[in-house]
Structures are given as structure tokens and as C-alpha cells.
Structure 1
Amino acid sequence: MEAIWKVEQYLIDNAEKIIRDITEMALKNVDFEITDEMLELGIKQNVEFLVLLAKSFKETDEKAAEELIKWSKKSGEQQAANFGRFSTLIKPYAKNRLLYLDYITQISIDHGLATKEVTMINNRICYLMDVSLTETLFAYETYRDELMYERQREINELSAPIVPIQKGIAVLPLIGVLDYPRVQHLLNNVVPTIPSLEIEHLIIDFSGILTIDKEVAQNIFVIHNVLELLGIHLMITGMRPQISMAVVHGGIDFTSFHTYGSVKQAIDSINNRQ
């Protein structure tokens, strides 16, 4: 086992040189552009991985994996931020693992390791690389999901602005697909701001909405009831034929709502009352 400890120390002492050598060969398997910043980040992460690998020779697979999982979570987030698509990372994985194994195997042979010891090190490399790949995937998905959620939140904010058009009158134009998350955004983030705008009449314009379902339509009733309690007169405009049909087929009763064909018609109705 003494020879294995020598290999361990050699790998730790020469980690950066080894990784730069392997990286130079691995770049031949890459068919996408890598910036200098991405390259240096990749080298740094792989140096850390090699040191963890070398230190794991004295540990069980389970203990080695435990330490590696912590590192892989951070690595996955960094790689997601830099590479964008996981397929970009996974495509050269098999060829690069062979390069890694060949390089470390030669170091093991040069240090006089027996076949059984070389096999043990190679098995540990394969095991930890697979653990790293799995945990990196989990971290990558988590990072991308959080990024998508944040972008959707920003889209919801931008796509549901309250636009004052006359004293006491404002329009809330809706665009795209009116799904459950957007309705919740309206209820939780948009409706609470309305009282501070000194609005007496709010026109929700559906002319830019592509589709609506029964659950979402029922939440419109919630918005209607909340605004009524606040003393705000709600009007709905721009219900396109396909939206109207979806409402009817869903058994949803919009007859209690004040509906108009256009925003102009709704404004004219308000002005005629005054």
C-alpha cells in the first residue's frame, strides 16, 4: 500500500500540471467555443477534483463520495452558469474519462504499482467521476430551475403593468398565456398595489391573452371580489371568441362582470356615467 500513498502524494503535488496536460488533450474532443475564463475555471475545478480523488485512496467509496458530493454541487452551479446547456458538458465525457484513466494509469505504473493496485485506483476514478457527474447534473438542474423561476417572475412583472389613463381609471393589459402562476402573481403582487394608486375603475384587458382554463377563470372571480371589497369597479375588455368559448364550455359564469369589446368602450361607459 505504500506505493499507493506515493501516488497519492504525487497527484496532490502535481495536480495542476497533470490537469493542464489532460486538458490540452481533452480540448481536441470539444467542438464548441471555450473562453479563457471558462478554461481556467474548468482547470481549477479539475485540480480540486484530482486532489479529492487522491485523498480518497485511504477512504471507503461511501466516505469518498460524501466529500465529492459537496464539491460537485458547487461545481454544477458554476458550470450551469458558464456553459448554458448540460449536453455541452456531457458530450465529450466518455472520451475525456478515458484520457484521465490512461494518464493516471501511466503514473501508477511509473510508481511501480501492482496490477491489483492500478485496478483499485482506476475503479475509484470511475466511481467518483460518475458520482460527480450525477451530482453535477442535480446541481445543474436546480440552478437552471431557479434561473427559470426568476426569469418567469420578471416576465410576470413586466407583462402585468397597471397603466393609469385618466383620473381614477387604469388599465391592466394581459398578454400571452394566463396560467396559474401569473394569476397568483396578480393576486399577490399587483392587486395589493392598486389602492395606493387612487383608482376607482380598473379595466382588465384580455385582448392579448391566448388561452385560459377553468381554474384560472375562477381566480379572476377572486380578483373581482377583492377589488369590490376595496371599492374598485372592475371591468373586463377584449374577450376574444376562443377565450369566450373556453369560458362557456368550462361552465364559468361571467355574467356578473361588466364586459366590453374594447378598452375605449369601457372608458366611454365610465365617462357617460359621470
Structure 2
Amino acid sequence: MDDILKVGKYLVDHAEEIVTEMIDSALENVEFEVTDEMIQQSIKINVEFLTLLVDSFEDSNEVAAAELVKWSKKNGEQQAAMLSQLSTMIKPYAKNRLMYLENINRISMEHDLSTEDVLKINNRISYLLDVSMIETIFAYEAYRDDQLKDRQKEINELSAPIVPIQHGIAVLPLIGVIDYSRVQHLLNNVLPTIPTLDIDHLIIDFSGILTIDSEVAQHIFTIHNVLQLLGIHIMFTGIRPNLSMAVVQAGIDFTSFNTYGSVKQAIESLR
């Protein structure tokens, strides 16, 4: 163990030099443009990893992995912020892993470590590299999922605005694909604001809808019933044949609704 710790001290003392040399070699396998900022970030990440590796020499695999998991989660978010695709990060992993092992093995043999000690270091590096990659992928996916949720929220807000057009009259234009997420946004965010807008008549316009299924159609017509209970007169416009079929399949009775071909016709009916 003393010999392994001596190698560990050498690795820490020369970490930046060792890492920079390995990154220079790794760049030969990279198929995308690498900025100076990305190189410096990569050096920082790998120096931290090398230090964690050395610190783990006296620990069990389980203890070493627990410390690495915390670090890998942060690393995964940084990688997600820099790279647009997960495959960009994974593709060079096998070659870089082999290069990492070859360099550490060379240093270990230069310090006259026994074959047994070289294998111990080799196994520890392999184990921690795999743990790091797995946790980095998990963190990467979580970061991307959060980004997608934020973007979907923005899309929902932009695609279902309440537009006042005359005193007491407003239009709710539905645009794009109406799915469960969009309906939940309508129910939880748009619907509660309508009673505060001093609206007597609300025109819900379907002319911008691409697709809709029967379950979602049922939710939208539930919105109609809720607003009617609040004393708001609801009119539907722009209902095309594909939406009509979804409404029929949902078992919704059209006869109790005020429907018009266009927003203009609905406004004229109020006059």
C-alpha cells in the first residue's frame, strides 16, 4: 500500500501536467469543435477526478463510489450545458478510458510497483470511470429534462393567451397540438385567471389546432362547463372535421354549445 500511496502523491503533484497531456491526445478523437473554454473546463474536471481517485486508494469501492457520485452529478450538469447531445460525450469514452489506463499504468510501472499493485490501481480506475460515466449520464438527462419542462412551460404560456378584443369579450386561441400537458396548463394556469379579467363572453377558437384526441377534447369541454358556472358565456369557433370526430368519439353533446365557423361570426352574434 505504501508504494501505491507514493504513486498517488506523484499523480496529485503532477495532476495538471498529466491531464493536459492526456487531453491533448484525446482531442485527436474528437469530432466536434472544441473551444479553449471547453479545454480548460475538461482539465479542471479531470484534475478533480484524478484527485478523487488518489484519495480513494485507501477506501473500499463503495466508499470511493459514494464520493464520486456527488462529483459526477455536478459534472453531468456542466457537460450538459456545454454539449448539445449525449452521444457527443459518450462516443470517445472507450478510447479515452483506454488512454487513461495506459498513462496511469505507465506511471505506476515507472515507480516500480508490483504487478499486484498495478492491477489494484487499474481496477480502481476502471471502476470509478464507469461509476462516473453512469452518474454523469443520469445528471445529464435530468438537466436536459428540466430544460425541456421549462421550454414546454414557455410554449404552453405562449400558445394559450387570453386576448381581450372588446369590452367584456375575449378570445382564447388554441394553437398547435393539444396534449395532456397543454390541457393541464389550461386548467391550472389559464382557467383561474379568467374570472379576474372582467369578461362576460369568452370565444375559444380551435382553428389553430393541429391534432386532438377524445380524452383531451373531454377536458376542454369540461373547461366550458366550469366557466359557464362562473357566469361566463362560452362560444366555440373554428371547429374542423377532425376535431368534430374527436368530440363525437368522446361522447360530448354538441347541442348545448354555441358554435360558430369563425371568431368574426361569434362577435357578430353578440352584437
* Helix, strand or coil at the partner of 1:194: helix
Alignment match, 1:83: 83
CA displacement at 1:196 relative to structure 2: 2.2
CA displacement at 1:54 relative to structure 2: 1.0
Alignment match, 1:57: 57
* 1:193 has 2:193 as partner: yes
Contact 1:210/1:243, CA 8 A, preserved across alignment: no
Deviating more after overlay: 187-196 vs 72-81: 187-196
Alignment match, 2:204: 204
Distance 1:139 1:210 in 2: 34
Alignment match, 2:213: 213
Distance 1:5 1:21 in 2: 22
CA displacement at 1:92 relative to structure 2: 0.7
Over residues 207-245 of structure 1, what are the superposed CA-to-partner deviations in whole Å (9 max), with x where a residue is unaligned? 011111222112123211221122111111001111111
CA displacement at 1:251 relative to structure 2: 2.4
Distance 2:43 2:160 in 1: 44
Which amino acid in the other structure matches residue 264 of structure 2?
Answer: K
Over residues 88-125 of structure 1, what are the superposed CA-to-partner deviations in whole Å (9 max), with x where a residue is unaligned? 01111111111111110111011110111111111111
CA displacement at 1:247 relative to structure 2: 1.7
Contact 2:195/2:230, CA 8 A, preserved across alignment: yes
CA displacement at 1:17 relative to structure 2: 1.1
Which amino acid in the other structure matches residue 102 of structure 1?
Answer: E
Alignment match, 1:24: 24
1:1-274 matches, cutoff 5 A: 1-271=1-271
Distance 1:145 1:257 in 2: 39
Which amino acid in the other structure matches residue 226 of structure 1?
Answer: V
Unmatched segments (≥5 aa) in structure 1? none
Runs of 4+ residues over 4 Å off in structure 1: none
Distance 1:218 1:117 in 2: 68
Distance 1:133 1:189 in 2: 39
Contact 2:217/2:246, CA 8 A, preserved across alignment: no
Which amino acid in the other structure matches residue 248 of structure 1?
Answer: V
Which amino acid in the other structure matches residue 82 of structure 1?
Answer: M
Distance 2:198 2:38 in 1: 52
Contact 2:217/2:250, CA 8 A, preserved across alignment: no
Which amino acid in the other structure matches residue 77 of structure 1?
Answer: E
Percent identical pairs in the alignment equals 68
TM-score, structure 1 normalization: 0.96
Distance 1:197 1:250 in 2: 31
CA displacement at 1:7 relative to structure 2: 0.7
Distance 1:261 1:255 in 2: 15
Distance 1:191 1:251 in 2: 23
* Helix, strand or coil at the partner of 1:255: helix
Contact 2:218/2:250, CA 8 A, preserved across alignment: no
* Helix, strand or coil at the partner of 1:204: strand
TM-score, structure 2 normalization: 0.97
Aligned length, in residue pairs: 271
Unmatched segments (≥5 aa) in structure 2? none
Contact 2:218/2:247, CA 8 A, preserved across alignment: no
